[in-house]
Structure 1
Amino acid sequence: MTTDLLRLTQWLSPAFPVSGYAYSHGLETAMAAGRVRDAATTRDWVRAVLVHGTGPLDVWAIRSVMGGARADDVALTLRARASSAERWAEMRDQGTAFCNVTSAMGEPTLTDLPLPVALGVRARGMDAVTVARLYLQTFAGQMVSAATRFLPLGQTQAQMILRGLHADIAEIADREDADPPGSAARIADLDAMAHETLQPRIFRT
């Protein structure tokens, strides 16, 4: 019996020690400014990132590496496409932690790869659509979790936001882009840039 799904869900669990709780992907800027203030505005901001911003690019990276592309080449593309220094630091630092922990667990040694690339390497041989869907679910959950810690947003509301994003997650994860997609989530990208000088702050990004 294969244990691939169990390994994948362990890697993408909020309990996996990559410090996902410390990152907001720039959402903190929008919350501090009052533009994201409730369930509806949280959903809109997170959906923009998933559908028009980081989501499609991360899926491209995961599926490219799983399909045999050189991990270092894909990592360089992600670095070049990162909209801010903090966006790159977020994927780089979580990727480093992911590489270190999975290597310590007995997987082949990996070092210094951004998270989507590291996951793609580890998940080679698994179903690419499943990997991409669960990755996006975790990514969305990380952003929504940040909102629950900053806003008067309840846990049930948070789960309703995530449930409402399932169709978008499935659609993005199913894509097979030959070339890395660009970002059209301009406001979210500007929020990520502005976060670099935001004070005070709760999150790293």
Structure 2
Amino acid sequence: MRHADLLTLAQWLSPSFPVGGFAWSHGLESAIAANEVRGPDDLFAWLDGVLRHGSGRVDAVLLCAAMAPGADAVALHAEAEARAAGSERWAETLAQGGAFARTVSALGGEAVPELAMPVAVGVAARRLDLPPGLVAAQYLQAFAGNLVLASVRLIPLGQTDGQAVVARLSRVCEAVAQEAAVSRLEDVGGAAVLSDLAAMDHETKDVRLFRS
């Protein structure tokens, strides 16, 4: 494992990397408005479910599959689209994946096609001397961290409490990523029903801060 590659991955998944992650709440805005997520414990439980059973797990499996030599990125992209729970989830993964691909391509090296976010990251990460499980774990932590930042803006949740939630989720990210690294594409799937319903409910809101 090369330290330079680890730093490259950290740059790609940093909040400063221009993918527009700050604009999306992944349905959390609706969940918070419905009083289903009210504080750090609620937020941890919600994100734990998303990571273990919902889109977090799906993304991790697709990312690891995309890192395999000769993987069919177009087919994986179609799988990601099919797994999106609603139009906003679909827009979320495509918008961020497209922005990620354009930025990585502009930085030089082999161009990355515009694909759903986990597939685009997986394709780009083929050039890194890093194991898929590590890449997926870092991806999931960045995903969870972005949602925690959204929650800090939406509920009375301080920065320290938010970071405590991220820290608690680190083991979850690692466990889901390691499972994803040895999973087959046939294993992709999940059932974070409340999260999916919240995402669909968000589509009906007339006033909102986030795009999802």
TM-score interval (norm. to shorter): over 0.9
Matched, 1:177 2:183: yes
Q: Which moved more, 1:7-16 or 1:119-128?
A: 119-128
Q: How many residues align?
A: 205
Question: Where does residue 43 of structure 1 map in the other structure?
Answer: 44
Q: TM-score, normalised by structure 2?
A: 0.93
1:97 and 1:150 map into 2 onto residues whose CA distance is 25
Q: TM-score, normalised by structure 1?
A: 0.96
Q: Which moved more, 1:33-42 or 1:15-24?
A: 33-42
Helix, strand or coil for the counterpart of 1:153?
coil
Q: Are the aligned partners of 2:112 and 2:124 in contact in 1 as well (CA < 8 Å)? A: no
Shift of 1:2: 5.0
Question: Where does residue 65 of structure 1 map in the other structure?
Answer: 66
1:104 and 1:18 map into 2 onto residues whose CA distance is 13
Q: Which amino acid in 1 is paired with 2:156?
A: P
Q: Which amino acid in 2 is paired with 1:6?
A: L
2:167 and 2:106 map into 1 onto residues whose CA distance is 34
Helix, strand or coil for the counterpart of 1:90?
helix
Counting aligned pairs with the same residue, the percent is 43
1:44 and 1:2 map into 2 onto residues whose CA distance is 33
1:135 and 1:19 map into 2 onto residues whose CA distance is 15
Matched, 1:189 2:167: no
1:150 and 1:131 map into 2 onto residues whose CA distance is 29
Q: Which amino acid in 2 is paired with 1:12?
A: L
1:32 and 1:106 map into 2 onto residues whose CA distance is 43
Helix, strand or coil for the counterpart of 2:164?
helix
Shift of 1:180: 4.2
Q: Could you tell me which of 75, 100, 103 is aligned with 2:102?
A: 100
Structure 2: 5+ residue runs without aligned partners?
none
1:87 and 1:128 map into 2 onto residues whose CA distance is 24
Q: Which amino acid in 2 is paired with 1:94?
A: Q
Matched, 1:20 2:21: yes
1:141 and 1:12 map into 2 onto residues whose CA distance is 10
